């Protein structure tokens, strides 16, 4: 089936569909016993990301089990800094740990030269998944947006307040811009290779967009995504792109108007009627069920699912969660949600 006939691509072209397509962020993840088995076999998270055979397998697992309309390649947003030469490891019960980049001297140690060699297993994973997917399922490639990736690179891992990265961005924006500019170039190169390998849709995750005031949101979230989209369109004019500036609030409107994306993913804090009137009138919307409701399941999950479908289903919609599935999510609840969405 040609990409432009697939439900997800049609939705991103602006079609209102009788059954909106659906997929779930982190659908290939720890709530699946088969995923946990493969991850244990890989011997670590990064090992799994860089093993095309195993990464393709876990990418396909949720499609076999739940029949989503899209598959997102199994990888991680921090593979770009890893490919630039920043030291990265994943520590049990702590998450990613990176050697922090705090100034231009630190930044000078990084290079784009080794990016494609380090990321080549990801491109092979994309190719493997594309060859194995059912013909009606869309393959999504992705990357972290520059601001969010920079947050991890500067903080050296996760952070509650992102104080260090915000201090650098506010105090010396000219030097901080050099890090963002490097990430823009790296992200374009990384996503180009994913499209060449078979990705049919791209998504940019900006998980920490909520941490910035409005001028900083425009400079460090919106404008870098604009640049990435503009560059990608030079090579792939028709590739549909979804942006996810999580927690952007009213900034979702400016993002939808100016980023150049086909779709905007919404977090669960966004009022549905406002999203319909202010965002969906501009682009396709994706979202926005609270992942915690999928843990709870039952009537609470079902009522909110139907409310989203009723409110946003009269326009171009991709049903998704407001962020990723959490590990403790019962499989029966995911199955029930998929059953509702398949109709």
Please tell me which residue in 10, 39, 69, 290 is annotated as part of the active site. 39
Largest Cα–Cα distance of the chain, in whole Å?
Answer: 56
Give the C-alpha separation, 341 to 321, whole Å. Answer: 12
In the residue annotation, 76 being an active-site residue is answered as yes
Burial profile 126-157: b = 16 or more Cβ within 10 angstroms, e = fewer: bbbbbeebeeebbbbbbbbbbbbbbbbbbbbb
Omega into 2 within 30° of 0, i.e. cis? no
Beta bridge partners of 288: 320
36: annotated active-site residue: no
Kindly name the residue from 82, 123, 128, 152 that is annotated as catalytic.
152
- Beta strand pairing call for 317-321 and 284-289: parallel
Query: Could you give the CA distance from residue 203 to residue 141 in angstroms, rounded to a whole number?
Result: 6
CB-CB neighbours of 196 under 10 Å: 14
Nearest to 24 by CA among 314, 313, 281, 335: 335
State yes or no: is 26 an active-site residue: yes
φ, ψ dihedrals at 262, nearest 5°: -85, -30
Rounded CA gap, 31 and 61, in Å?
11
Rounded (5°) CA angle 70-290-126: 25
For the chain, first and last CA: distance in Å? 21
Write down the catalytic residue from 50, 69, 76, 206: 76
Q: Which of 10, 26, 50, 123 is catalytic?
A: 26
173: its two tokens = 């924006």
DSSP state of 211: G
Is 160 tagged catalytic?
A: no
Known active-site residue 39: yes
Active site residues: 26, 30, 39, 76, 152
């Amino acid at each position: 089936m040609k990409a432009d006939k697939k439900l997800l691509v049609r939705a991103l072209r602006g079609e209102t569909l009788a059954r909106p397509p659906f997929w779930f962020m982190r659908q290939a993840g720890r709530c699946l016993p088969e995923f946990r088995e493969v991850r244990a076999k890989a011997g670590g998270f990064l090992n799994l990301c860089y093993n095309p055979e195993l990464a393709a397998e876990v990418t396909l697992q949720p499609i076999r089990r739940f029949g989503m309309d899209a598959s997102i390649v199994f990888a991680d947003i921090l593979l770009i800094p890893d490919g630039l030469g920043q030291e990265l490891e994943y520590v049990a019960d702590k998450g990613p740990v990176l050697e922090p980049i705090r100034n231009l001297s630190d930044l000078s140690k990084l290079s784009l030269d080794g990016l494609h060699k380090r990321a080549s297993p990801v491109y092979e994973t994309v190719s493997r998944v594309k060859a194995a997917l059912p013909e009606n399922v869309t393959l999504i490639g992705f990357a972290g947006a520059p601001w969010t990736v920079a947050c991890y690179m500067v903080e050296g891992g996760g952070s509650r307040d992102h104080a260090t990265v915000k201090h650098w961005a506010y105090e010396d924006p000219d030097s901080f811009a050099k890090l963002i500019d490097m990430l823009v170039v790296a992200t374009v190169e990384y996503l180009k290779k994913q499209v060449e390998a078979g990705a049919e849709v791209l998504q940019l995750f900006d998980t920490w967009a909520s941490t910035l005031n409005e001028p900083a949101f425009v400079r460090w979230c919106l404008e870098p995504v604009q640049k990435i989209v503009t560059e990608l369109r030079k090579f792939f004019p028709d590739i549909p792109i979804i942006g996810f500036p999580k927690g952007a609030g009213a900034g979702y409107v400016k993002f939808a108007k100016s980023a150049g994306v086909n779709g905007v993913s919404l977090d669960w804090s966004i009022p549905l009627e406002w999203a319909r009137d202010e965002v969906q009138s501009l682009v396709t919307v994706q979202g926005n069920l609270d992942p915690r409701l999928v843990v709870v399941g039952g009537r609470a999950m079902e009522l909110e699912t139907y409310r989203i479908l009723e409110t946003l289903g009269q326009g171009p919609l991709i049903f998704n969660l407001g962020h990723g599935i959490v590990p403790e999510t019962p499989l029966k609840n995911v199955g029930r949600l998929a059953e509702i969405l398949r109709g």
